[in-house]
Each structure stands twice: as structure tokens, then as C-alpha cells.
Amino acid sequence: MRKKRLFWQLYSSNFLIIFLALFAFTFLISSSFKSLFLDEVSEDLQSRAKLLHDDIVHRIGEQSNRAIDDFIVDLGRRSSTRITIILPDGTVIADSERDPHSMDNHRNRPEIRRAMKGDVGTSTRFSMTLQQNTMYAAIPLRDEGGILGVLRTAVPVHKIEENVERLQWQIVGGGLIITLLAGLMSLYISRRITRPIQELKQGARRFAEGKLDVRLPIPESEELSDLAEVMNSMAEQLQDRITIITQQHSEQTAVLSSMMEGVLAFDTEEQLININRSAARLLRIDPEKARGKSIQEVVRNVGLQRFVERALSSDYAVEGYITLVDEEERHLQAHGSVLKDGQGESIGVLVVLNDITEIRTLENVRRDFVANVSHELKTPITSIKGFVETLLDGAIHDKSDAIRFLGIVSNQADRLNAIIEDLLSLSRIEQGAEREEIALAYSEVRETLYSAIQSCQHDADQKKIAVHLDCSPDLHALNNPPLLEQAIVNLISNAIKYSEDGKSVWVTAQRINDDEIRIDIRDEGYGIEAEHLPRLFERFYRIDKARSRKMGGTGLGLAIVKHIAQAHHGHVEVQSKPGSGSTFTIFLRTNIPEEAHVQA
């Protein structure tokens, strides 16, 4: 049902009351006016008749009917009243308007009958003579002898009615004007009452739209001003609460999104409720598109799907490991706990993901390292022990064998020493870099490169390999000359080792930009297959174990290079293709990068 407006309710009822009151009033006034008027006219007629009474009684005795009629006609014209004289038998002897002879017997007219009985008779009816509504008043004409006849006066009622009607119209007109004025006033009053309500309504609507910063105007009337104040304070509280909630929400979002851990929330139907930035990045999903979808749609990883399932069905926090397989495997540690609402009912599950790929890799590296070190150390020791036992068992007596065996023992001891030297220097560099004990100075690099080449010259000459240096004397970089030399020596000796006789090795150094220089050690050697490249700088990583040992490598040379480069806030890269040689590049800085402190 359509609601009525309060304004129209007020206005229409006001108007109706005014209208009914005025209508009743007008009706009463006009009807009482009419009867008053008629009474007046009737009285007047009677008085006129009474005034003529004696004169007519006197004339009836002395004059002929004819003379009386003339007198009556004259009198009637002057007083604009119809005057009639009727004998007791009903015969009309005189009439001011008509010829008495043409008139009917009037005995039965009600006013005449009454007058015959001695009273004053009045009547209002249609006159056949005058053909209109007429008011009559009749009085008996009497002398000492009794009733001589009846004197009747009459006026046409229409005149009276016209008067009354005019009066009524005036009253109605006045009434209408009053109604109109009262209506206008009522309109104004209704407006005045409803306008503040209207304003309150608009204000409340603004509140509902969330515009809580506007305040309602305070109306004059007490009830409404109370209401407005209550609503204003309600809006204020709402605004405060919304501010608090919004703030909390943005705080939570900020906390969630700045977390390193991936956080996901699922409802009991395994549909995603919330996901933070880390989780989206980790799982490579678009958070906007993913929200509200089921886990099977969002995450194509069965491990995580099962984990969520397990977390949902468990009352306790659960922990698990998940492997993501993309271009490479990534390992995640997952914690899941059931989300509960205020009533303790489960509403879903919260999953926190930690990327532990690096930790796993480090663990593996460490484990491999220990295994490798043991293995690397054991090989020469086994060999030394074997030959020493053989010597003890008697081989010592055969001089040529003994010298050969001792030579091998010495070689193996050298090898052991080389490994331990490398291990020690590796750990020195690592520790030095960690504690920032490695002194770096802004100095020229050509000298260092040159002395590195000098150190390798002997090996190079044996294989007839030419080592070329191309470096501007004024090329400077932040470096620790002994360490840098060690790295360059390692790279050059590798280049020599893995090249055929007669090839060349190039050492070139140049500036890349204001911050960095690069030192390339390029060879024309056997090259390295792509699959080995990512692991090449790991300790003891060997492409071909047998070949490496035969060449006298410790398996630590490139690891040392990597650590030296890192200690210089630089890094090392390799490019290689089987058959066409390799290029190792060390990048050095010319100034200390700002993030160095963070990295350290």
C-alpha cells in the first residue's frame, strides 16, 4: 500500500474540519435567517392588516363594495402589498390586484378559516391568482356585532426568498473565503509541522548512505529536537565505530600484506575467503580473481588441497610440508588452524605458508658439504695409508719402489694440504665477509690482474697457452688486492686447465657504468653444459670427478671465487657453451652500495 505523506494527512484533516464546521455554520445561519426573515414579514403583514382594521370596518358599514375596492386598490399600490377583503361567506369584496368578482370563494383558504375563528391566520402557498408563492396574513374584521369579514394582506414570497437567497450567498461566499484563508493557514501550519520531520528524514537518509559527517539541524519543537539530537549522537557514535573498524581493517590488511609468510583463509566449503600478498605471489594467483572460489579452482596443487582438507577436519593446529612444482621445485612449510567464530563454531581454516626452499637448499648444501669434505679428505688419506702400509709390509726395502711410493705419498699429502688450504681460505673469506673484516680500498686493478697472470705463467707456458691482458691502467674499483688476485688466479688456472694446448686465454677488465666494473676471463676450452652452470659455484661440485682430480683440483676453486666476489659486494657469472669455451665474469663495485650494510 502506498504510504500517505504526513503533510497531506495533517493538511487534509485540518481542511476537512474547517470545511465541515463552516458548512454546518452556514447552513444553520442561513436557515435561521430565513425563518427570522419570514417571521418578520409575517409580523409586518399582520401589523399592516391591523393598521387597516378600523378603517376597513368603518367603511364596510358606510360605503359600497365598489368604493371599498377602489380604496383597497389605491392602498395596495401605495404599500406594495396585496390587500383582500373577504366576507364571512368567503365572497371577496375587494382586492388590490384583481377584480373581486372574478375571484373564487375564499372560505376554504387556510388563513381565512383561521381568521373566521377569530385568530390571526397566516399561510404561505402558491397563489392561483398571482401564479406565485405568496405569504398571507389574515385578521378578522370585527365590530361590536361580531365578525364582519376578513382582511388579508399578502406579499409574494419570491421577494423574500430572493433576499434570503442573496443573504445565503453572501454567507456561503464569506464561508468560502474563510475556508480558503483557513486552508492556506492550515497549509502553512502543516508545512511548519512537517518540514522539520522532512529535514530529519533527509538527514537520516544521508546517515544511511554513510555520510555520517553531516549533522541534522535541530528543530524548534521539543520532541523533534530531542529526536534530532539522539540521531546526531547516534551518527557520531556510528562514525567513531566505523572509523575504528576501518582503521582496524586497514591495520590488519597492512599486517597481513606485509607479512613474509603467505596467509590464506578458507571457509568450511574450502572456498577462499582471504589471501595476502605473499601467498598470492608464492602460489602465483591473482587475489582479486581468486577470492570466493574453491581451493581446487584457485590452487592447482594437491598437497595444499589435502592440507586444507586435513586442517578443516582437525580440531588442532596441523603442520605439513608442501612441494610446489613450477619451473623448479619450491618447498613450503604449512601451518593450518581452524577459524572459530564467537560461538566457537568452525567457520573455516587459516593456512600460513613459509617458503623454506632456501633453508632446504642450505641444509642440503651443508649436508653435501660435510659428506663431500669427508670424501675429499678420505681419498688422499686412503691412498697415503695404503702406500705407507705397503712400505711397512716390506716395499721399503726395494729402493726404487720405495721412492716411487713415497713420491705418491708426498703428492697425496700435498693434495690434502691443498684441500685444507682452500677450506681454510674459504672459511676465512666467509668469516671476514660476515664480520666485515675484509678491507676494501678504491685502487687500480690492472696491477692485480697482471700479478695474477704472472702466477699462472708457468702452467700456461707448459701448455703453450697465451694469456692476454686488456685493462686500462686507470681502471679503479673497490677491492682487496690479495683476495682479488686469488680469485683471478683460480679462474685463469681453470681456464688453462680446461683448454687444449696452444689455445689462448683473455683477461679483460672494463667499466660498465659509474658503479660497476667487470673482469672477464675468457677461454677457448671445452666449455660446460648448461645443466651444470647453476651449480658450478657450489663447493665440491664437479662436472667430471675423475677428470677434476686428475687435474689436481680441490673442487673449491670456484666456490672461493664466488665468496671473494661476494666479499667485494660484487658477484660472479658464467657463460659457456660446450665446444666453444667459457667466460667467467667478476663484477666489482666502485663504491660501497647502500644495501651493503643490510646484506652484511
Partner 1 sequence: MKDRSAHTPDLLKRKLLQLSALVEENARRCVLTIRARDRDAARGLIEADREIDELEISIEEDCIAMLQARILDDSGIQFVVAVLKINADLERIGDLASNVAHRVLSIGQHHQLVLPDELMTLADRTLSMLKHSLDALVDMDSALAREVCARDQEVDMLNRSMYELVRDRIHASPEQAERLIHLLSISRYLERMADYATNIAENVVYISEGEIIRHRRSD
Q: What residue ranges bind partner 1 (CB under 8 A)? A: 270, 294, 296-297, 299-302, 305-306, 309, 325-326, 328-329, 529, 531, 543-544, 578
Cell numbers standing for residue 155: 406579499
Closer by beta carbon to partner 1, 91 or else 301: 301
How far apart (Å, rounded) are the C-alpha atoms in residues 177 and 191?
A: 21
**Closest distance to partner 1 from the beta carbon of 448 (Å):** 36
- At residue 221, φ and ψ (nearest 5 deg) are -70, 150
Our CB check for partner 1 shows the closer of 238 and 302 to be 302
Question: Whole-number minimum distance, CB 302 to partner 1, in Å?
Answer: 5
Q: Quick one: 282 or 299, whose CB is closer to partner 1?
A: 299
- Residue closer to partner 1 (CB basis): 493 or 576: 576
CB of 286 to partner 1, least distance (A): 11
Altogether, the residues listed in the chain come to a count of: 600
Q: Helix 6-62 to helix 157-208 angle, to the nearest 10 degrees?
A: 170
Complex with partner 1: residue 66 or 289, whichever CB lies closer? 289
Nearest distance from residue 527's CB to partner 1, in Å?
11
Which residues are within 8 A (CB) of 444 and not within 5 positions of it... i.e. 6 or more apart? 473, 474, 475, 476
C-alpha torsion angle, residues 141, 143, 145, 146 (rounded to 10): 30
Minimum gap (Å) between residue 500 Cβ and partner 1:
18
Is the CB of 297 or the CB of 520 nearer to partner 1? Answer: 297
Neighbours of 552 (CB within 10 A): 12
Q: Decide: 537 and 559 in contact? Cβ < 8 Å.
A: yes
Report the nearest approach of partner 1 to the CB of residue 320 (Å): 16
- Burial class of residue 14 (count of CB atoms within 10 Å of its CB; 0-12, 13-18, 19+): middle
Nearest distance from residue 260's CB to partner 1, in Å? 25
Closest CB to partner 1 among residues 297, 430: 297
158: closest CA among 33, 26, 38?
38
Smallest separation (angstroms) from partner 1 to the CB of 549: 16
Nearer to partner 1, 192 or 306 (CB): 306
Strand order in the sheet with 272-275: 272-275, 262-267, 346-355, 329-340, 318-325
How far is C-alpha 596 from the chain's CA centre? 43
- Which of 270, 538 has the CB closer to partner 1? 270
Q: Are 566 and 586 in contact (CB under 8 A)?
A: no
Q: Residue 72, Cα to own-chain centre: how many angstroms?
A: 104
Closest listed residue to residue 411, CA positions, set 544, 516, 550: 550
Q: Coil, strand or helix: which one is 293?
A: coil
The DSSP secondary-structure symbol of 219 reads P
What is the nearest approach in angstroms of partner 1 to the Cβ of residue 13?
Answer: 59
Nearer to partner 1, 315 or 328 (CB): 328
3-state helix, strand, coil in the chain (%, to 5): 55, 20, 25
CB of 370 to partner 1, least distance (A): 20
**What does the alpha-carbon distance between residue 527 and residue 525 come to, in Å, rounded to a whole number?**
6
Asked if 135 and 42 touch (Cβ cutoff 8 Å), the reply is yes
CA distance linking residue 368 with residue 538, whole number of Å = 10
